[in-house]
Chains A and B, each alone.
Chain A
Amino acid sequence: MQGEFSILRPDGNGYDAEETATFYQDLNLLQVIDRLSGKWGREIRKYFMYLPEDPKEGDYRRAVYGDIKKEPVYRALMAFTEAMNGVDKLRGERTRVSDSLQRSAWLIREAEAYCGAYVALHRELSQAELESEGMLSLLAILTETMDGGYREIHKLTAEALTEIRKMRFVVTYEKARMRVEIRETPGEGAYDKWLNSEAQSEDVTFVNPFLTDAAITELERACLTILKEKNKDFFRRIQTAAKQCERYQKTVLLRFEQEVLYYLSYATLQREMEKAGHHFATPATGDGVRMEAKGLYDIALAIATLSDGRKVIANDFYYGPGERFFVLTGPNQGGKTTFARSLGQLVYLTRMGLDVPAESASVPYFSNIQTHFSVEESVETGRGKLMDELVRLAPMMAGNESETFVVINELFTTAANYDAQIMGKRVLEHFISRGCTGIYVTHLKELAEDRDGVVSLRAMLNDRGIQTFEIRRGEAEDSACAANQVNKYRLSYEQLKERL
């Protein structure tokens, strides 16, 4: 069943339920998706907004992505996509004109481009070393399609086009009349030659003044009518070729044409970021791997800094045996939230079968990602902030899946310290007892006290008390934030003396 083939989903199913989970927003994944869909079209959003349930699906994709990252495959697919964009434009041209002869000509052009794109893709992929199940299936389908007529149509249309492009004739406009003569051998363009004898700009050329209109103008048609009488054969051949083209069906691989953008968009972004010095790794997955990464960074932040060259801090981490939850404390603006986000992104991208923003990583299977980030007080609902947080927290805690990755960022900041500690501990204990893995960012150092399954992490300061954005294991401690802020903006007395 060719129509069912999918390069994203081994079972060939669709994407009926577009997920609207809050983690897309909380983990700044929407920023990433916005950037991709801004360049590659809104169509691809639905692929990124769908988190595959079956762990095999992630593996299937990972294998395909591994193939697509290979230079010749990437190039071939990029060229294919570009050619397909061209086909869309040509189709637009065809639907805009009404003259039947002109439509035939556009149809030939379109079929030639479309089949040509597939012929080229097939040729390139046959020569590439493909390993993944998905890409090998694609190649098989392509081979079948080529033999089923694409190659033939491509040849036929290419010949017709050559013939059209070879046609040369001379138009003489004088005494308010146009005279048309077919010319066997191309002329010299005597007047152009003379103009260029002194002109300083060779690149100025005469362009058809009627090009602004896609349809042929009356003047052009009148000339064509004379040409048609003079060369009946030529025009008959065009009509014949056009008839053949109607055979080409452009639905066979429609789904592939769309889905491949999922990989290409991300692979292109990855290349751009790698050029800027960011690392990417294919995560190790499977049963029994523990969650860890080296040089992990926030991909959304890294994208935002692509244009201004700011440095993005990368961090290493691991969950040791029996360790379930990180409790992360430290100074404000110390990179806590960014680190928490990057963990969530790591899980998401692994599930999606894509490479992750790290030097190396291994990620066990998580069926779900749940996030809870504090938000500004909602005017709309009229609820207080604490109330709001609890309302959002309730459904998260109601579930009972254990294979969930949980990211909690600053709960209960408006509650009294004592209350906050108690509530925080209960939340933490709930998720640990359920067997979830995750990270809890908080300003309450009491939460990081030694307990089963909890690891205390701290955002570090350097010896001058300035944020380094490094996250390390270590006991939580109180931090003086005000001095840091002053230092950060170099506003202390000594610093000012230096600056002035």
Chain B
Amino acid sequence: MKVCLLYADREALDSENYYDTASIIQDLGLNSLFSTSARKLVYEDGALKKLEKEDPFLTDTLRKVMMVPLTSEDEILFRQEIVADCLEAGTMIGELYRICAETIEKWNELGRTIWEKIRQGNPTLRLISEIRVMHLFCDSLAEIRGVLEKQEHLTSRGLTAFRDEFMKAFSKEREEYVRKGLNDISFYTSGLDQKDEGIDQNIQPRIVFECGLEDGLKFSSIRMEDVSSQSYKFAKHGGIVYKFRKYINSRMPNSFSVEDDGWLVTQSQQLEFGVVSYVIRKLKSVTDEFQSFFDRLRFQAAFYQAAVQMKLHMDRFGLEWCFPKVCDRRDLEFEELREFVMAIEQRVKVIGNTCSLRQKDMLIVTGANQGGKSTFLRSIGIAQVMMQCGLPVTAKSFRSGIFPRIFVHFTRREDSAMNSGRLDEELRRMDGIVEHIGDGSLILLNESFASTTEKEGSLIAYDILRALKEAGVRILTVTHLLSFAKRVYGESKDRPEAGVDFLSAERLPDGTRTFRMVRGEPELTSFGLDLYDEIVEKGLQNRGR
């Protein structure tokens, strides 16, 4: 039984993931996004009552799935449809996820791992646990069918196909078959389960088989005629009723008792064991295709469960959301795009940005410190990653091309001190990136090469980015390297075919930062003086008072 909810044509998350996912997660701050989405929101009377603890499985699933980009519009639509279905269907995906998780947990208790099996050692114990696993499978699969049967309004290709295939793979007939088989061999586990206690019934096997003789006169070519569990009223061993029954039975012609001889007792138990193993193996062949089904469904359902919760968190922070649309790689358009991670971390509705780039390969963002440049860059990066795994994004609208290769090259602020070791590290990272550049590459640079002098840094940046641009890489860069920005500006001014665009963090004449990006010529100052004034001078003045 296939579970194709992540891709229309396959189950495994086997496409290539992004290069250097650790940097992407770190630089875009995705860990907060993962762990917040892994927290279930509990509502009461329509109002958020509480947040449950983070489900590490969901966190882990998001980390895995989001780092593997989809590579076509159809793949993206496939997932978007399912997310939409899940949002519509309320608790469905959560239920599926829960059933899988619980089944796996119980299965583990019954001894799923090889170590458990070794620990159980005894084949009889192992057989008993196999019977119990079969019961568990049957119950869980029936429960899943119950959930799916209720979903009449599914429209996504993925979920409808999954539902239809499941109904076939575990039909009512199959369930009845497995249940009858389990009932026939229930004698083997009778009295072992707590619920059986206190019942004055004694369950005994009835096994009828036809057979022939093999060379050497051993039984062979055995055909099973009947296997069933017969229920008798309990009679105390050695009691009157017991003796009477035994006497009646002994009058059966052409028969012998297997109770009175040690060997015969053992061998009839061997026979029971053989028959039960046989029946179980047959039943198993029906549920075999579900051996790893729960794991696969759990993983895939976890992604959509997280997607549903992600959307609820967006609502919680009052962030408008939409399903992004795919467009040409040289275009990028969005309205009111907000930085989701910052909203999560600072619990505020961050400023939205609107932007439209048509037929551009390079965007250079300059401007005031603390003006929201990095936030702006990150918001695009986060949205791009979310779009490329089928998730909704925090914007009124968002259109972008598909970039199977996303690279981030962020200067890590905390230690951007000027020294050659840092530059060396930056260049080494760039070398790694260049090694992996290919079709559909997008690189986000944040204050790259700021670890050397402005002049040197500008030269390095100019050479590298020009080469990248000529190689067809889309470049989004936030930079302080004003010589670099000026130079590119000079070369591309009045030449739209150059495919370069410039944005600056808006700064009102009075120095107020709006955290919005506006189109315009890069200035020679990044208005650090403003900040200096605000922080240093103001502090000094205050002290002076």
Task: Give A contacts to B, CB under 8 Å.
Answer: 90, 93, 97, 101-102, 105-106, 108-109, 161, 164-181, 183, 186-192, 195-201, 204-211, 214, 216-220, 222-224, 226, 230
Main secondary structure of the interface of B (DSSP, over half): mixed
Contacting pair A204 B216 (CB below 8 A): no
Choose among A97, A161, A173 the residue with the greatest number of B CB atoms under 10 Å from its CB. A173
Q: Whole-angstrom distance from the CB of A412 to the nearest CB of chain B?
A: 59
B234 at the interface (CB under 8 A from A): no
Q: Whole-angstrom distance from the CB of A14 to the nearest CB of chain B?
A: 36
Alpha-carbon distance between A97 and B177 when the two chains are bound, in angstroms: 42
Among B173, B215, B282, point to the contact of A195 (Cβ < 8 A): B282
Residue of A nearest to B270 (CB): A209
Contacting pair B230 A174 (CB below 8 A): yes
B434 at the interface (CB under 8 A from A): no
Give every chain A residue within 8 A of B14 (Cβ-Cβ). Answer: none
B254 at the interface (CB under 8 A from A): yes
Size range of the chain B interface in the assembly: 35 or more
Contacting pair A180 B255 (CB below 8 A): yes
B267 at the interface (CB under 8 A from A): yes
Give every chain B residue within 8 A of A176 (Cβ-Cβ). Answer: 204, 249, 257-259, 268
Alpha-carbon distance between A161 and B181 when the two chains are bound, in angstroms: 37
Flag the segment in B42-50, B271-279, B525-533 that touches A: B271-279
Contacting pair B215 A109 (CB below 8 A): yes
10 A–B contact pairs at CB < 8 A?
A101-B217, A172-B206, A192-B223, A196-B282, A198-B174, A198-B286, A200-B286, A200-B288, A201-B288, A218-B267
Give every chain B residue within 8 A of A219 (Cβ-Cβ). Answer: 258, 263-264, 267-268, 271
Give every chain B residue within 8 A of A173 (Cβ-Cβ). Answer: 205-208, 258, 268, 271
Residue of A nearest to B273 (CB): A209
Alpha-carbon distance between A214 and B225 when the two chains are bound, in angstroms: 25
Contacting pair B216 A93 (CB below 8 A): yes
Among B205, B206, B268, B278, point to the contact of A204 (Cβ < 8 A): B278
Contacting pair A102 B216 (CB below 8 A): yes
Among A168, A207, A224, point to the contact of B217 (Cβ < 8 A): A224
Give every chain A residue within 8 A of B227 (Cβ-Cβ). Answer: 191
B226 at the interface (CB under 8 A from A): yes
Alpha-carbon distance between A109 and B217 when the two chains are bound, in angstroms: 11
Take A187-B210, A199-B286, A222-B256 as given contacts and tell me if A206 and B225 are in contact as well, using a CB distance cutoff of 8 Å: no
Choose among B205, B209, B250, B268 the residue with the greatest number of A CB atoms under 10 Å from its CB. B209
Contacting pair B222 A207 (CB below 8 A): yes
Alpha-carbon distance between A190 and B351 when the two chains are bound, in angstroms: 74
Alpha-carbon distance between A218 and B268 when the two chains are bound, in angstroms: 10
Alpha-carbon distance between A200 and B216 when the two chains are bound, in angstroms: 33
Alpha-carbon distance between A332 and B211 when the two chains are bound, in angstroms: 71
B261 at the interface (CB under 8 A from A): yes
Contacting pair B210 A208 (CB below 8 A): no
Alpha-carbon distance between A214 and B218 when the two chains are bound, in angstroms: 8
Give every chain A residue within 8 A of B282 (Cβ-Cβ). Answer: 195-196, 199, 201, 204
Take A187-B225, A191-B225 as given contacts and tell me if A217 and B267 are in contact as well, using a CB distance cutoff of 8 Å: yes
Contacting pair A208 B223 (CB below 8 A): no
Among A171, A186, A206, point to the contact of B274 (Cβ < 8 A): A206
Contacting pair A106 B216 (CB below 8 A): yes
Q: Nearest 3 A-B pairs (CB), nearest first?
A: A189-B223, A209-B274, A179-B255
Contacting pair A178 B213 (CB below 8 A): no
Contacting pair B216 A208 (CB below 8 A): no
Contacting pair A208 B225 (CB below 8 A): no
Known A186-B210, A208-B211; further 14 A-B contacts with Cβ < 8 A? A101-B217, A109-B216, A165-B213, A170-B225, A173-B271, A177-B258, A178-B268, A188-B225, A189-B224, A198-B177, A206-B222, A208-B222, A214-B216, A219-B258
Contacting pair B249 A210 (CB below 8 A): no
Contacting pair B218 A178 (CB below 8 A): no
Alpha-carbon distance between A328 and B7 when the two chains are bound, in angstroms: 69
B64 at the interface (CB under 8 A from A): no
Alpha-carbon distance between A197 and B181 when the two chains are bound, in angstroms: 12
Q: Whole-angstrom distance from the CB of A157 to the nearest CB of chain B?
A: 11
Give every chain A residue within 8 A of B223 (Cβ-Cβ). Answer: 186-189, 192, 206
Contacting pair B267 A208 (CB below 8 A): no
Alpha-carbon distance between A219 and B249 when the two chains are bound, in angstroms: 18
Choose among B222, B223, B261 the residue with the greatest number of A CB atoms under 10 Å from its CB. B223
Q: Whole-angstrom distance from the CB of B500 to the nearest CB of chain A?
A: 38
Contacting pair A105 B217 (CB below 8 A): yes
Residue of A nearest to B171 (CB): A198
Contacting pair A206 B263 (CB below 8 A): no
Give every chain A residue within 8 A of B230 (Cβ-Cβ). Answer: 174
Residue of A nearest to B207 (CB): A173
Give every chain B residue within 8 A of A210 (Cβ-Cβ). Answer: 218-219, 267, 270
